[in-house]
Amino acid sequence: MTDPGKGVYDRGIFRKGDVRISDLSGNKRLPVGNSNFTTCVENSVFIDKSLFIADIIDGGATAMLYCRPRRFGKSLNLDMLQRFFEVPSPSDPSGIDTTHLFEGLAIWDAKSGAYRIHHQAYPVVRLSFSAVKERAWEDALALVSATVAAEYSRHGYLAESPRLSLAERETFMRIVDGRGDGADAKRSLAILTRLLYVHHGRRAVVLIDEYDVPVMAGYTYRYYDEAVTFMKAWLVGALKDNDALAFSVLTGVQRISKESVFSDLNNLLVNTSLDTVSDERYGFMQDEVDALANYLGFASSTEELRAWYDGYRFGTVDVYNPWSVLNYFFNGCAVDVYWGNTSSNAVLGELVEGADESTLEMFFQLLEPGGSIEAPLDLRVVLPDVGVREGAVWSMLYLAGYLTTADTAMPNDVDRTRVLSVPNFEIAKLFRSEIIQRYASIAGSRDRLGKLQRAFVCGDAEAVQEELERILVACASSFDLTRENSYHMLVLGLLFGMPGYRDPLSNREAGRGRFDVLVRPENADQRPYVVVELKHAAGSCSEEALASLADEALRQIEDREYARAYDAGDAGSVCFGIAACGKRIAVKTNRNNG
Interacting residues of 476 by C-beta distance below 8 A, sequence separation 6+: 490, 583
Query: CATH number, domain at 74?
Result: 3.40.50
| DSSP percent split of the chain into helix, strand, coil, nearest 5 | 45, 15, 40
φ and ψ at residue 456, rounded to 5 degrees: -65, -45
Q: What is the pLDDT of residue 382?
A: 64
Which of 529, 517, 532 has the alpha carbon at shortest distance from 571? 529
Low-confidence ranges of the chain (pLDDT < 70): 1-5, 93-95, 257-259, 300-301, 341-345, 382-388, 476-479, 565, 594
Domain-located, residue 331: no
CB-facing half-sphere around the CA of 423: CA atoms within 13 A: 26
Domain boundary among 219, 236, 271: 271
Domain-located, residue 566: yes
pLDDT tens digits for range 399-414: 999 999 999 999 999 9
Domain-located, residue 26: no
pLDDT tens digits for range 9-39: 999 999 999 999 999 999 999 999 999 999 9
- Cβ-in-10-Å burial (0-12, 13-18, 19+) of 478 comes to exposed
Indicate if 56 and 103 belong to the same structural domain.
Answer: yes
C-alpha separations of 470 from 301, 325, 345, 410, 448 in Å: 49, 44, 30, 50, 11
- Cβ-in-10-Å burial (0-12, 13-18, 19+) of 565 comes to middle
- Cβ-in-10-Å burial (0-12, 13-18, 19+) of 526 comes to exposed
Domain-located, residue 587: yes
φ and ψ at residue 216, rounded to 5 degrees: -60, -40
Question: Is there a contact between 96 and 282 (Cβ–Cβ < 8 Å)?
Answer: no
Q: What is the pLDDT of residue 148?
A: 97
Q: Identify each DSSP E strand in 328-372 by its residue range.
A: none
Indicate if 264 and 399 belong to the same structural domain.
Answer: no
Would you call 77 helix, strand, or coil by DSSP?
A: helix
Q: Check residue 208 and report its DSSP letter.
A: E
Structural domain count, the chain? 3
Domain-located, residue 491: yes
Q: What is the pLDDT of residue 387?
A: 57
Indicate if 89 and 154 belong to the same structural domain.
Answer: yes
Domain boundary among 428, 448, 468: 428
Phi-psi region of 373 (alpha: psi -120 to 50; beta: other; left: phi over 0): beta
Q: What is the pLDDT of residue 379?
A: 87
Which of 175, 209, 178, 211 has the alpha carbon at shortest distance from 193? 175
Domain-located, residue 113: yes
Indicate if 103 and 252 belong to the same structural domain.
Answer: yes
Indicate if 468 and 534 belong to the same structural domain.
Answer: yes
- Distance between CA atoms of residues 156 and 173, nearest Å: 9
Which of 441, 443, 483 has the alpha carbon at shortest distance from 467? 443
Please name every residue paired with 19 in a beta bridge, in sequence order, or none if there are none: 16
Domain-located, residue 53: yes
- Distance between CA atoms of residues 549 and 563, nearest Å: 20
Indicate if 70 and 166 belong to the same structural domain.
Answer: yes
CB-facing half-sphere around the CA of 179: CA atoms within 13 A: 7
The pTM is what? 0.92
Question: Is there a contact between 20 and 106 (Cβ–Cβ < 8 Å)?
Answer: yes
Q: Which domain holds residue 424?
A: 346-428
Indicate if 354 and 256 belong to the same structural domain.
Answer: no
Indicate if 363 and 480 belong to the same structural domain.
Answer: no
- Distance between CA atoms of residues 455 and 467, nearest Å: 9
Domain-located, residue 572: yes
Interacting residues of 52 by C-beta distance below 8 A, sequence separation 6+: 77, 80, 81, 278, 281
Domain boundary among 271, 291, 323: 271
